[in-house]
Amino acid sequence: MKARVFVTLKQGVLDPQGEAVRHSLHALGFEGVNAVRQGKVIELDLAETDEAQARRSVQEMCEKLLANTVIEDYRVEMLP
């Protein structure tokens, strides 16, 4: 079973990388971009075959390592 985890900064947390991308896009002539928020995607290939248990395991991984839950949100997507 596979899982995909999307990690993004929480609303209200400054995103200097996103701001740098926005600035660069403006420099390239893309003036219509008002804001950019940058995140990361983590793909996991799991031995677990039970989807509910796999989801619980991935959520625990996020809480312990994959996301800094003080400043980041995460979303888990289970893949076939």
CA–CA separation, 6 and 8 (whole Å)? 7
Query: Residues 13-40: pLDDT tens digits?
Result: 999 999 999 999 999 999 999 999 999 9
Nearest 5°: the CA angle 32, 13, 33 is: 5
Which pTM was predicted? Answer: 0.88
3-class secondary-structure state, position 58: helix
Name residues whose C-beta falls within 8 Å of residue 8's C-beta, 6 or more positions apart in sequence.
Answer: 37, 38, 39, 72, 73, 74
Query: Do residues 69 and 4 make contact, with C-beta atoms less than 8 angstroms apart?
Result: no
Q: Look up the domain containing 55 and give its range.
A: 2-79
CATH of the domain at 26: 3.30.1280.10
pLDDT at residue 80 above 90? no
Split at pLDDT 50, 70, 90, the class of 51 is very high
Number of folded domains that form the chain:
1
